[in-house]
Amino acid sequence: MNSFLIFVFAILGLQLGSFLNVVIYRLPKQLQREWRVDCAAYLEVTVPHEEATPLMSWQTRSQCPHCGTTLRARDLVPVLSFLLLRGRCAHCQHPVSWRYPLVELAVMAAWGLCAMHWGPSWVAVLWACFVTTLIALAFIDVDTQLLPDQLTQPLLWAGLIAAVLGWTAQPFSPAFWGAIAGYMSLWLVAYLFEKIRGQAGMGAGDFKLFAAMGAWLGVGALPLLVLGASVGTVLVALVMHLTGRGSADQRMPFGPYLVLAALAVLWLNTLGFELTKALLV
């Protein structure tokens, strides 16, 4: 019975991964539209009608980003449609990024592994939602260097509420101080950097994301998280510089490296040890 429920969790994750691709693509564009509308209202100018049309709506059907054709249900089956269509749009034959099925498979793996470790339970759902939100934030940051409040703030509050109610193994005190230390530590780094260099080195979205991670993983995980993320950022920047793909003053998103570090800590603390034990038995 447990194996069947784990399979159900994995399939649910696969479906959520498909929805997550929509969020990753549409949410930043929706925010940019809202900002343009707000600026236009302030300047008392008219914006085109399409700028005021919400993208994040259940009534808005998925379209091909290249040709704009509305996609059919059979074009949107997670992973399977990509494979059957050989990675191309069914209408214009334009190549579709491999990132879409990879995101779907990553979320599927997250939900399946959480169900394996915590059992098919609400605790597994909570941690799976945590990982799913981190995946969305990482890809949005890669694309736009934005970490939307619409994702970071609910993630922060969910971690604190889950700790208060005892829904996760994280006691409230480490979660509370993790949120405070997470935000203040990166804020202080960014403040000092701006004072010394005269330019912004980090956005407020990074502070909120780190605070959310502190709420979920506890204050003790913060040094390892920031160390892992910093090392990852430096290594990628060095590789890009040596291969001529980046410059010394190029801005790089920090969020994806925080996410990778958080997933590594979660894996080592829970899933990794359990899976290793199962493989050795």
Q: Residue 106 pLDDT more than 70?
A: yes
Residue 77's pLDDT band (boundaries 50, 70, 90)? confident
* Alpha helices (H) along the chain: 2-43, 80-84, 99-118, 122-144, 149-165, 172-197, 204-217, 222-242, 255-266, 272-280
Residue 97's pLDDT band (boundaries 50, 70, 90)? confident
* pLDDT at site 115: 92
Q: Residue 276 pLDDT more than 70?
A: no
Q: What is the mean pLDDT of residues 152-162?
A: 96
Which residues lie closer than 8 Å to 249 by C-beta, 6 or more apart? none
Q: Is-contact 183 208, C-beta < 8 A?
A: yes
Enter the pTM of the model.
Answer: 0.88
* pLDDT at site 280: 43
- C-alpha 65: how far from its chain's center? 21
Which residues lie closer than 8 Å to 54 by C-beta, 6 or more apart? 30, 60
* Partners of 63 in beta bridges: 70
* pLDDT at site 51: 56
Q: Residue 101 pLDDT more than 80?
A: yes
Q: For the segment 220-262, what is each residue's pLDDT rounded down to a tens digit?
A: 899 999 999 989 888 888 888 777 776 656 678 899 999 999 9
Angle, to 10 degrees, between the axis of helix 2-43 and the axis of helix 149-165? 130
Residue 112's pLDDT band (boundaries 50, 70, 90)? very high
C-alpha–C-alpha distance, residues 62 and 72, integer Å: 8
C-alpha–C-alpha distance, residues 67 and 179, integer Å: 44
C-alpha–C-alpha distance, residues 101 and 208, integer Å: 28
**Lookup result for tokens 């160390």:** 227
Q: What is the mean pLDDT of residues 204-212?
A: 93
* pLDDT at site 281: 42
Tokens linked to 154: 């609910």
Q: Residue 279 pLDDT more than 50?
A: no
C-alpha–C-alpha distance, residues 169 and 217, integer Å: 9
* pLDDT at site 252: 82
Q: Is-contact 54 31, C-beta < 8 A?
A: no
Of the listed ranges 29-38, 155-164, 245-254, the least confidently predicted one is 245-254
Q: Residue 272 pLDDT more than 70?
A: no
95 phi/psi in degrees, rounded to 5 = -60, 140
Greater confidence, 197 or 137?
137
Q: Residue 131 pLDDT more than 60?
A: yes
C-alpha–C-alpha distance, residues 145 and 255, integer Å: 8
* pLDDT at site 271: 63
